[in-house]
Every structure is written in C-alpha cells, then in structure tokens.
C-alpha cells in the first residue's frame, strides 16, 4: 500500500466569542486539512491549527511547506510512520504544525489497514474516562468571573483560566472567580509565558489556597533554565507547554527538573509519533501529562483523544475548543457529553473526517 495523492484544504471558521490570551486575540479559526489517498483507495485525514505566536506557522506557510512535504511522501508506505518523520525532518527543520497533518493522516490509514481503532493502534484501551476542562479567556476580573459562572452552569467540573498580564491583575482575576463560584471546582491556570520568574513565584504563592491543579508555562519559553527555581518555589505544580514541543524538549526539561507535568499538543510535537515519545519519557520520569491543543476542530481533537487513551500518565484533558466554533464541519469523531466527558469512537482508524461539501475544492493537490 502506497500514498498516491494528497489534497490540501484551508479551513476557516468564526468563533462564538473572541479567544483571548496573553499572546493576543483570535476571532476565527484558520486551519489546514489534509486528505491522503492510497493506491487501494483508503483515505486518511489530518488537520492542524497553526498558532503564529507559538509555533511560528500560519495557514499560508503550512500550505506552502505542505506541498514540499507531500512531494517527498508520495509513494510512501503509510504504515512506515517513523520513516515519514525522517523524510520530513530531513527536508525541513521545525514546521511541526504542518508535519502533524501528515502524521495524523498516516496514522488514520495505518489503523484502518490494521482493522483497529486508532487508540488500539497506539497501544491504548478504553479503560479510563476523558474529561475536558473549559477555558475562560483573559479579560477583566468581573468578566472572567461571569464567564466562570457560565462554565459551571454548563456542567463542567474543571475550569481553565487564562492569565499572564501582571501580578495584581491576575491575582484579582482568580479571587473574583473564586468569589463567584466558590473554591470547590478546581482551576487550571495558564500564563502563556506572560510572567517574569519573580512575578511567577509571587503570584503562585499568592494563589496557594485557590484550589489550582497546575500552572502552564509561567515564563517565556526561552527562560526554561529558570523553570526549576519556579517549580521549587511554587505550591502549585508547573506544567511545561510552549517550552515542550517535541521529545527532545521533554528530555531536556526532565534533566533540568524544570516541571512536574507536560502539556502535549499534536501541533507542537509534529503529530502522534513524537507525542508518544514525550509520554514515554513522562512515564519513565513519573510525571503526569495533559493532552491539549490549539483551535483545531473535532477532526484533530479526535486523534488527540485517541492518544489520551494510550497511557495512564495522561491525567488531564484540555480539549474544549470545538465547543467554541460557530459551526461544526466534522463527520464522526469524538462527542462531548455532560460535565465535559468525551466519548471516543471505537471503529477502525480515527473515524473522523471533514464534510467535503464544507471544504469545497482543494487548493493544492500533489
């Protein structure tokens, strides 16, 4: 079995409300979808949501680089996923977001060919529940408290809170949320690199009694050498996000003792193959993992949910962004239930694709 055709589609969808972090404001999803076809007619799907400020890619750059990657992978055996990564990494450095769409499509085909669900192809089982948090965007303390109330009313059992603009403001935001919803529902906070090391230590100690599960990426990613000092000074566990893209980053952070947890995103790691390497390293180090992502649709999130079932080191899910879309173009895939519970399909492959009528004509075919 060989890959004979790659088709690229841009995917743009407005959000219900602006998604605001310390890195900026997003009003619309701008993703790239890939459909791969084999010589025996099997089809695999992939998707990425390039995040300019984190992985340095855009929809336009992904489409441009994707054509070069596709030419290099035409005729490739979809079961040889490790070999595909060697080809892509030899061709161009970085560009993990667009590389992830090929990884997802090849995994989808390989699992279909093996006749098993993707999670079983990855070595997992349907043996633990997946429950996502829901994110409160950065805003005034009053607005964020109101949004947190809505999250609770919608039945979610965990709330993720975007922070990162400064000590007084961020402490006030958490205190306003706690006054509005009480202290029982756990929070996960994400500074998106917005603090200095000293500010991070101050804020995390000020929030020690606020029932916070962990803090994601408190300082700029290039200051990773300061992470251990923050971890040792913080009553709240530290989770590496932007500073942990692939397994090489994870290995370095473990050696430094920089954090207790990793946030794995397929668009950072280059797909499932390298994401699994991060999980293996976390298992060996006795660390916990969160499966997160960017603003992908249920297509890519379905692959991420399959990954979440492959290890008990995966303790946290941050998979809420499809619920923020104004329209859902995905056929099949994961479904969301009460309290943020996620159901994963149990058929061969990923069992998710984009409605072809929604996609229209491919912008590039290789």
Give phi and psi for 141, each to the nearest 5.
-55, -40
**Active-site hit among 30, 103, 133, 190:** 190
Residue in 362, 310, 290, 341 with CA at minimum distance from that of residue 111: 310
Is 216 assigned a catalytic role? Answer: yes
Q: Which of 147, 216, 288, 320 is catalytic?
A: 216
Whether 268 is catalytic? no
Q: Is 318 a catalytic residue?
A: no
Catalytic residue among 30, 99, 103, 162: 162
Please give the Cα distance from 288 to 77 (Å, whole number).
33
Nearest CA among 118, 147, 120 for reference residue 134: 147
Task: Give, in order, the Cα–Cα distances in Å from 108 to each of 81, 282, 293, 304, 317.
Answer: 11, 25, 18, 12, 21
315-326 per-residue burial string, b: 16 or more CB within 10 A, e: under 16: bbbbbbbbbbbe
Nearest-angstrom CA–CA distance, 338 and 340: 6
Contact 328, 278 (CB under 8 A): no
Catalytic residue among 47, 108, 170, 241: 241
Q: What is the DSSP string of 148-214?
A: HHHHHHTT-S-EEEE--S-HHHHHHHHHHHHHHH-SSS-EEEE-TT-S-HHHHHHHHHHTTTS-EEE
Q: Among this protein's residues, is 77 annotated catalytic?
A: no
Choice among 99, 160, 265, 274 that is catalytic: 265
Torsion angle, CA of 199/202/142/295, rounded to 10 degrees? 60
Q: Any catalytic annotation for residue 40?
A: no
Catalytic residues: 162, 190, 216, 241, 265
């Amino acid at each position: 079995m060989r890959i004979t055709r790659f088709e690229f589609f841009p995917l743009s969808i407005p959000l219900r409300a602006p998604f605001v972090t310390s890195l900026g404001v997003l009003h619309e999803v701008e993703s790239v979808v890939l459909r791969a076809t084999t010589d025996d007619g099997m089809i695999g799907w992939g998707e990425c949501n390039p995040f300019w400020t984190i992985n340095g890619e855009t929809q336009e750059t992904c489409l441009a680089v994707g054509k070069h990657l596709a030419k290099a992978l035409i005729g490739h055996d979809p079961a040889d996923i490790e070999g595909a990564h060697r080809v892509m990494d030899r061709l161009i450095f970085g560009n993990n977001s667009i590389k992830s769409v090929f990884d997802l499509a090849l995994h989808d085909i390989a699992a279909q060919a093996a006749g098993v669900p993707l999670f079983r192809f990855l070595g997992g089982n349907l043996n633990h529940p997946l429950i996502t948090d829901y994110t409160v965007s950065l805003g005034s303390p009053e607005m964020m408290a109101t949004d947190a109330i809505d999250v609770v009313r919608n039945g979610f059992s965990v709330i993720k809170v975007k922070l990162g603009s400064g000590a007084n403001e961020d402490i006030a935001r958490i205190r306003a949320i706690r006054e509005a919803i009480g202290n029982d529902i756990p929070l996960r906070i994400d500074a998106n690199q917005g603090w200095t090391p000293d500010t991070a230590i101050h804020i995390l100690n000020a929030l020690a009694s606020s029932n916070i599960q962990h803090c994601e990426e408190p300082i700029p990613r290039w200051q990773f050498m300061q992470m251990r000092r923050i971890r040792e000074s913080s009553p709240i566990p530290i989770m590496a996000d932007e500073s942990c893209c692939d397994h090489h980053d994870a290995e370095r952070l473990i050696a430094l003792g920089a954090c207790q947890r990793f946030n794995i995103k397929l668009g950072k790691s280059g797909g499932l193959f390298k994401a699994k390497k991060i999980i293996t390293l976390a298992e060996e180090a006795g660390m916990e993992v969160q499966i997160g992502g960017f603003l992908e649709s249920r297509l890519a999130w379905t692959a991420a949910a399959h990954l979440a079932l492959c290890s008990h080191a995966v303790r946290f899910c941050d998979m809420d962004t499809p619920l923020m879309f104004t329209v859902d173009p995905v056929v099949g895939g994961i479904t969301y239930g009460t309290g943020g519970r996620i159901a994963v399909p149990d058929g061969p492959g990923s069992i998710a694709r984009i409605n072809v009528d929604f996609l229209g004509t491919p912008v590039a075919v290789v």
